[in-house]
Amino acid sequence: MEGAGASIFSHAAELATREMDSAHEEPELPSAIQDLVQRLEGQGDPITQLPDLTKPEFREFFPYSESSIFMDSSSWIRSTIIGWRSQVRLRVLEAIGSCNTLEILDVGKICGAYISGLTPSEWEVVLRGFRSSTVLKKIIVGWLFASDDADKESLCFQLGRILNSSSVTELAVRARLSARYLSNLASGLRGRSDSKLKSLDLWEAWEDSSGVKYVADMINSAPLLETLRLGGYWEDMEDETLGILSQALIQSLALKEFTLDDAGKWAWPLLLKALAGDDRNRSIERLRLKVMDGLGDCLRELLISNPSLKEVELHPLVMEPEQAHQLGEAIRDNAISTTILLPATVSLDDFKSIEALALAASSEINDPTLEVTLVPMREDEVMLSLNLLDRVLRGEITSLKSLSILDRLGLSSNQDRGKGILSMNGRTGETCVLKRLGLRRLSEDVWEGVWKDLLLCLRGNTSLTHLDLSETWLDDETFRDMMGLLQQNLSLQEINVSETSWAIDGKAALIQEALKQNEKRAAYMSVFREAGLAFGDAKAGRLFLCGSPLAGKTQLRQTLMRIVEGKSWLGIKWNKLFRTKGIEVEYLQNNDKRQISIWDLAGQEIFRTLQTVLFPQSNNFCVFLFVYSSFCENSSSKKKDSCFRTELEEWMSFITSSSRVTGHNRPQVLVVISHKDKMKSSSLTWAHSIVKDVNQRFAKFVDLHPIQECFHVDARKKKQVIDLKDYIFEIFDKLLSEKSPRVPQLCSRLSSLLATNIKENRSCPIWLPQKFNNFCDPILTEFISSSSAFAIDHSRILNSIVSYLNDVGSIVYIPTLSYIIVDPNWLTNTLLGELVALGQKFHAQEHESKSHFSYSSKDGFVSESVFVGLIEEFLEKIPHGQKGVDRDVIENILIHLDLCFKVEDTSKFYFIPSFIPEHASTEVQKPQELVDVKPKAWKRRVETSKFVGIRIQCQDGKTMSLTAAFFPRFEMFMRRKLICEMHISKETVTCSRHYMKLYLDGHEIYLEQETSRNYLDVLMLCSDHKSREAAIKYVMKHIVQELISFCASSKGCSGVALVLGVIQTRCVEMLIPIHLRGAILIEELKSDFIRDINDKFEDNPSDRFHLVKEEELFNYEHPWPPIQGHITEVIQERARELLWESDVEEIVNETIQKLYGRGQWNAVRLGKVK
């Protein structure tokens, strides 16, 4: 530590040398004091509010005992703080007074509620710097005691001076101050027209009614006052005093929110004087009444006479059912639009009053106005809450716009398990007007009884926009229900699943992405409905052919086309020489009954990145044919049966990882065994058992059909493929008839016409918007009636058509480009497939001449000349008649698909890892060689450096993985976000084929992907000026959460759920290769931590708990095994240092609650080390 910050410690050490018996022994300052002073003086994380100086870690310099506030102990405190301690104490107080980052001044945290614990001169040191502060926002004055009234009076006067000259916007006084003290405090505001005070909290602020006039003074002296809280006083007030206070309220023209909390009989006359008369306050919009009796007639009068009120909160509803009924009638009959908030209702009488109010206020005309929170404390109250929910969902009660049920105790429902609790009787929720619903902390049996009926209701409901399921028991089956619901319900805008299993296992991100996509769908669907367009059954489906190279996919596609369309394939002998590049797309059937496109995926691994980029994000109406040949490529040698299992599992993982969960509609997968003509036996017994095993493994994610006789074919022969074709079409008919949402018929027609147009003319795959609009106009005229044509905004409809057709895959629209790709096959096969083939040296024909270029790049970057050479080589191969395609168009498409980015420096480079190999040779790099991919040492490491490692991995590594395109696309997304949105210097962002390196906020960060693509690691060398916890929060927000959200998005792996783990700190520090690093899932480490705590209790009888020290109870250490070639011994690392603070606090709090329940925690505390 340098400069002024160091002076205290060196000076203190010198003082201590004179004070201590040993001339050579220096006192050691507690780390808490060092850290506090450093932060107050601007080093490390900025400090915005003070810690409590009465905590044990500060008591050597700020002595405190609970008895000190009831007796004059100021002289005792001063007698213990002498010499070195006195100097350190003074330096801390000076640092507080001169700190320029403190936003909150809580007086009690400085003195522990005992004002006389500091001398007047010490108070002067602390407070004088705040008088001119432009940073200070809030002052808090809690319960305060003093040995001498003069101390209290002086403090109030100094706080008044701060209010007079600083930037304070909030003042909270809860100290029962006398009139004289309040006068001193108010003096700072009195006569100051430029006061910035916006919030005044005066609950339990005055000692008796004589102080109320100074409260009115404060209100009158704060022209910007927006929120005010009064209360905590039950004595009567004289009319004159009430008049002064009510007049202050009436004249407070900026006041928006007024709270009366725990007030006496004076409250209702005050409200009627200030808010109900002709000269009432007209600015207050929110009125909060807490712990108030006698609501009845006064509240009715207030609501009827004051239309300015937008929101009234009653906490609790202290009213008899009959009074509540009368209030509800008043709300209904007077069409009162004021929102009535009823939070945290817990008693049986409250339930009856709420139901009476809700029923009486219900109207078929008026909008709902009640927002209710129910907190049942007994099982019968759970049922009462659910009964109210039932009536709301069935539309019997229409006055509630928000209902939340919070079951803090996890109560049961007194119903048979599995039996429905709600009685919807087949109703689908169309008449329900509820906008927000919260079902929090519900037990498993209650949730199971509610969910199915609630699901049925939400499918037909269009009013509910917010659903809160936080802390509720949720399972995988419910998740599929929820994702299925989001395919039908476009009204839901927000679903909160915090503190549930879904928040831990990555499902929350998938839900958020589905909501984001629904927002876009809802926008264009509303345009179609407003235009009065007809909706009909969906007709479009996709058939995917996948499998290893030369399995017979393309031959099967050709035969299917010949069967369906009677297509004659001229030059069939040449077809044997052509191999698919990327994805080849064409329509298998395009008529009024079906629009089935067929997507033939190249089997080579080099095309996998391209395929994941263009893979559909929905598995609705998708059928996959996994085509397998039992013979090796270019030979008649038979493969081992294990090859079938390996290939099938790889493609099943690809399908699972790439397909967005859309409810219980799993992707349909058929296994087709080709080359039947080469097989000596037609028996498929060997395949049946493998398919059965694989199906069991992937059953949650895909619907793998059992192998049938018609799945074994010679793909060249129509007779053998006809039965397979019929089976496929039966599946599509079932999908389209049973699981189809209604779609605009206009869009179905346009999709069909586009397919026909492109088949007949492939010379122009890219259209300008005007050409697309001209193509659509005749169809729009056909579908929109002439009477309404002039009233409809055609540009909105055309934009919606583009969005819809892009979503279903009929076109490819990239908003940032000025054209539309109307031929998907041109993009997937002609352009991207050919570019990959050229860059990766994949030759589709044996006689094809070798390219003049040989492309390779270890890090994925190439020079501009190499990039241009690749594009020019492609342009030479495309037909001369193809319009609108040049180098700039291709470059823009690659950049906007996140397949490329350009670095414009002294020399231009392009990052295109998907298009060029890593090495010139075809040898595959071994995992252990990846250690050479990045630097072997941290650049900014010092002796005191702190390291953090976070592993982000697939929830189920056996059934899913991150796709080949994921990491390079995330790099490009992250680079663009950091540079363009967060304005990070591009020099601090380094991309490479296997890793990404960042310098952010003083932290040095690596992101690495493991070769099997099951996980990524985030490694961080923390900034020297930030705490480890602050560094973790930063990287979680700006890196980890961004990555999880990207994975769930349409550009990521929308079928993959991600979970978090922590990495052994030594592995991060040493940059040990990724496949060797020690790591453990956070939830697993937390379980081990809790198990260790429980074991300690089992090992210690209850009569020996006083011997258990708190530090020992929570000191679990996780053992990391040796790592060959790097770490030779087992390393123990404390769980508290691996986990985040929030996780540790959760475990500690749960343990404390458990022990309090047993009456054991105090015994543990007795054993705590001082």
pLDDT in tens, 70-105: 455 555 566 667 788 888 899 999 999 999 999 999
Specify which of 187-201, 618-632, 970-984, 1134-1148 reaches the highest per-range mean pLDDT: 970-984
pLDDT, tens digit, 9 for 90 and up, residues 834-846 = 999 888 876 544 4
CATH 3.30.310.200 residue ranges in the chain?
944-1077
Give the pLDDT band (50/70/90) at residue 416: low
The pLDDT score that the predictor gives to residue 146 is 81
**What span, in angstroms and rounded, lies between the C-alpha atoms of 1102 and 1162?**
12
DSSP string, 394-461: TTS--SEEEEEEE-TT----SS-TTS-SS--TT--STT----EEEEES--HHHHHHHHHHHHHHHHH-
**What span, in angstroms and rounded, lies between the C-alpha atoms of 1149 and 1135?**
16
CATH topology of domain 539-602+626-653+671-740: Rossmann fold (3.40.50)
Higher pLDDT, 277 or 187: 187
Q: Phi and psi of 993, rounded to 5°? A: -65, -35
Contacts of 238 (CB under 8 A, 6+ apart): 209
Question: Which pair of structure tokens corresponds to residue 516?
Answer: 């984001």
The pLDDT score that the predictor gives to residue 456 is 85
pLDDT, tens digit, 9 for 90 and up, residues 713-731 = 999 999 999 999 999 999 9
Which amino acid is located at 1017 in the chain?
Answer: D
pLDDT, tens digit, 9 for 90 and up, residues 924-949 = 444 444 444 444 579 888 888 899 99
Higher pLDDT, 472 or 428: 472
**What span, in angstroms and rounded, lies between the C-alpha atoms of 553 and 497?**
43
Residue with tokens 């001369």: 880
Question: Which pair of structure tokens corresponds to residue 766?
Answer: 């890219």
**What span, in angstroms and rounded, lies between the C-alpha atoms of 741 and 735?**
11
DSSP string, 778-818: HHHHHHS-HHHHTTS-HHHHHHHHHHHHHHHTSSEE-TTSS
Range in 413-427, 453-467, 672-686 the model is least confident about: 413-427
Compute the average pLDDT of residues 494-509.
Answer: 92
Centre a 10 Å sphere on the Cβ of residue 2 and count the other Cβ atoms it contains: 7
The pLDDT score that the predictor gives to residue 793 is 85
Q: What are the distances in angstroms from CA 567 to CA 153, 592, 758?
A: 99, 19, 17
**What span, in angstroms and rounded, lies between the C-alpha atoms of 726 and 723?**
5
Range in 374-388, 527-541, 948-962, 1102-1116 the model is least confident about: 1102-1116
CB distance 463 to 431 below 8 Å: no
The pLDDT score that the predictor gives to residue 66 is 57
The pLDDT score that the predictor gives to residue 619 is 55
pLDDT, tens digit, 9 for 90 and up, residues 1091-1133 = 998 888 777 655 555 545 666 778 899 999 999 999 999 999 9
Contacts of 385 (CB under 8 A, 6+ apart): 351, 374, 376, 405
What is the DSSP code (8-state) at residue 828? Answer: I
pLDDT, tens digit, 9 for 90 and up, residues 451-474 = 888 888 888 889 999 999 999 989
For the chain, give the number of residues: 1170
CATH of 944-1077, one of 3.30.310.200, 3.40.50.10470, 3.20.20.70, 1.10.260.40: 3.30.310.200
Reference 989, options 1068, 980, 936, 1074; nearest CA is 980
Compute the average pLDDT of residues 410-431.
Answer: 63
The mean pLDDT of the chain is: 85
Q: What is the β-pairing status of strands 743-744 and 535-536? A: antiparallel
* Alpha helices in 670-717, H assignment, sequence order: 685-698
Higher pLDDT, 709 or 1169: 709
* Alpha helices in 282-378, H assignment, sequence order: 296-305, 321-333, 348-361
Sheet of 812-813: strand order equals: 766-767, 820-821, 812-813
Contacts of 227 (CB under 8 A, 6+ apart): 198, 199, 200, 201, 255, 256, 257, 258, 259
Which amino acid is located at 1085 in the chain?
Answer: L
Decide if pLDDT at 554 tops 60: yes
Q: Would you put residue 884 in left (φ > 0), alpha (ψ -120 to 50) or beta? A: left
Strand partners, 1019: 949, 1006
Question: Which pair of structure tokens corresponds to residue 881?
Answer: 């008649």
CB distance 463 to 432 below 8 Å: yes
**What span, in angstroms and rounded, lies between the C-alpha atoms of 1021 and 1003?**
6
The pLDDT score that the predictor gives to residue 76 is 54
Give the pLDDT band (50/70/90) at residue 329: very high
